[in-house]
């Protein structure tokens, strides 16, 4: 059962079930949705007529008539997607089945201000859109994950740390103007959470997805939906005070933040302070894999600090799973340290059935999430009928 919190039987819900493989025939849908067979048949017929669903042969009999298999045609609609990091961007197209096409990464320094970055991003997205259209696909919009706070209503960047010039930048509207498509912008941890939830944990209703990379963020799924909080900044664990960070100043202007001891940026800085060359999270990962002791220690300690904060979160929020994503989650010591601290500190009731796992989609998770979000929210404008906008 998918945890999508839509009306059961909505077009989006049916597509979701078929796309994820949860349901392969009308009979499956009847079981999953709990609706009458007649209703499901009617709904499926609509979707087939609209070209959003196709029948593809028959499946194996289970003792009776063979089911007529349903498929989401991959050649149909896609959304462009971009996962922005502070020093690179990853772009690609995402289809209704959740598959990514034409995924590509390039260096891009967001810290030099919005205009040049957005220009380059728009260029890449436009080229990508052209290639997708040439392949016969319809492009319905673009979803962007941005490494800083975003107001999801206005699509503006709000007070990002370490990225001067971006405050209140109208990223969504500016980009939409440049590429001529509807655009959805959200925080990178939020799109990561959406992606992981859809791809690997669709049946879970309460989920915390941590993005540990150059910075630290988290996205929250509550009641099966992205939880944003009152002002849209829910999931921030980066600027929580940690004793180990003591008086250390943070980019946010406060002192003692988790980010100042446990982020990729902080680890790299600490390594450089010990005379070890390290700049990006990739460098850190390489050092850990090479068994460099300082790097391993720092990463493990970062995991402990993150675990300490997550301990509060797990007790308070009592999620079904904590998913560790972002570049640093590829480092085993970090994952192990988080696990250890959580099991040690949290209530048995909160951890007894808690899954603590690394993200399953690897580096593409955020990208796929951004595309997925765009497909859902923008499909209506782009030609899909009756895909309701999922609101939080």
Partner DNA sequence: TCTTCTTTCTTCGGCGATCGAATAAAGAAG
Partner DNA sequence: CTTCTTTATTCGATCGCCGAAGAAAGAAGA
Binding site for a second copy (CB under 8 A): 149, 158-159, 205-206, 218, 220, 222-223, 225, 227-237, 239-241, 243, 252, 254, 308-309, 311-313, 315-320, 345-350, 352-354
Rounded least distance, CB 237 to a second copy, Å: 6
- From the list a second copy, DNA, none, partner contacted by residue 232 (C-beta under 5 to 8 A by kind): a second copy
Contact indicator for 106, 89 with CB cutoff of 8 Å: yes
Rounded least distance, CB 99 to DNA, Å: 24
**Which is nearer to DNA, 62 or 231 (by Cβ)?**
62
Rounded least distance, CB 93 to a second copy, Å: 32
Residue 45 has phi, psi (to 5 degrees) of -60, -45
Footprint on this chain of DNA (rule: CB under 7 A): 7, 9, 25-28, 34-39, 41-45, 61-68
- From the list a second copy, DNA, none, partner contacted by residue 166 (C-beta under 5 to 8 A by kind): none
DSSP designation for 274: T
Rounded least distance, CB 260 to DNA, Å: 51
The token duo for 252 is 């946010």
**Which is nearer to a second copy, 73 or 340 (by Cβ)?**
340
What beta strand segments (E) does the chain contain?
54-58, 68-71, 77-84, 88-95, 100-107, 138-146, 150-151, 156-157, 183-187, 207-212, 216-222, 225-227, 321-325, 355-358
**Which is nearer to DNA, 48 or 135 (by Cβ)?**
48
DSSP designation for 202: T
**Chain position carrying tokens 């957005």:** 118
**Which is nearer to DNA, 48 or 168 (by Cβ)?**
48
- From the list DNA, a second copy, none, partner contacted by residue 312 (C-beta under 5 to 8 A by kind): a second copy
Rounded least distance, CB 73 to a second copy, Å: 34
- Quote the radius of gyration of the chain (alpha carbons, Å): 22
């Amino acid at each position: 059962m998918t945890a999508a919190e839509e009306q059961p039987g909505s077009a989006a819900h049916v597509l979701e079930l078929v796309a994820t493989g949860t349901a392969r025939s009308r009979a499956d849908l009847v079981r999953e949705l709990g609706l009458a067979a007649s209703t499901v048949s009617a709904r499926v017929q609509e979707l087939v007529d609209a070209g959003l669903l196709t029948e593809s042969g028959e499946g194996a009999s289970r003792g009776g008539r063979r089911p007529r298999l349903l498929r989401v045609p991959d050649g149909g609609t896609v959304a462009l997607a971009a996962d922005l990091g502070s020093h690179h961007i990853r772009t690609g197209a995402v289809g209704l089945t959740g598959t990514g096409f034409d995924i590509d990464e390039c260096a891009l320094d967001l810290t030099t201000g919005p205009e040049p970055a957005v220009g380059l991003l728009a260029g890449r997205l436009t080229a990508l859109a052209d290639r997708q259209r040439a392949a016969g696909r319809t492009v319905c919009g673009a979803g962007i994950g941005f490494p800083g706070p975003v107001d999801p209503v206005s699509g503006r960047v709000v007070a990002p740390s370490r990225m001067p010039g971006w405050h209140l930048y109208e990223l969504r509207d500016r980009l939409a103007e440049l590429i001529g498509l509807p655009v959805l912008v959200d925080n990178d941890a939020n799109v990561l959470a959406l992606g992981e939830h859809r791809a690997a944990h669709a049946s879970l209703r309460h989920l915390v997805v941590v993005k540990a990379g150059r910075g630290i963020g988290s996205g929250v799924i509550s009641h099966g939906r992205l939880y944003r909080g009152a002002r849209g900044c829910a999931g921030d664990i980066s600027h929580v005070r940690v004793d180990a960070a003591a008086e250390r100043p943070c980019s946010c202007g406060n002192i003692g933040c988790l980010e100042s001891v446990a982020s990729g940026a902080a680890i790299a800085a600490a390594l450089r302070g010990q005379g070890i060359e390290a700049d990006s999270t990739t460098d850190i990962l390489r050092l850990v894999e090479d068994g460099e002791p300082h790097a391993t220690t720092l990463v493990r300690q970062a995991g402990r600090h993150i675990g300490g904060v997550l301990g509060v979160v797990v007790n308070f929020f009592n999620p079904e799973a904590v998913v560790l994503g972002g570049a640093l989650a590829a480092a085993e010591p970090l994952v192990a340290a988080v696990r250890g601290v959580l099991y040690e500190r949290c209530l048995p009731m909160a951890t007894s059935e808690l899954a603590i796992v690394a993200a399953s989609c690897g580096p593409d998770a955020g990208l796929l999430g951004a595309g997925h979000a765009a497909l859902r929210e923008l499909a209506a404008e782009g030609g899909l009928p009756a895909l309701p906008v999922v609101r939080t």
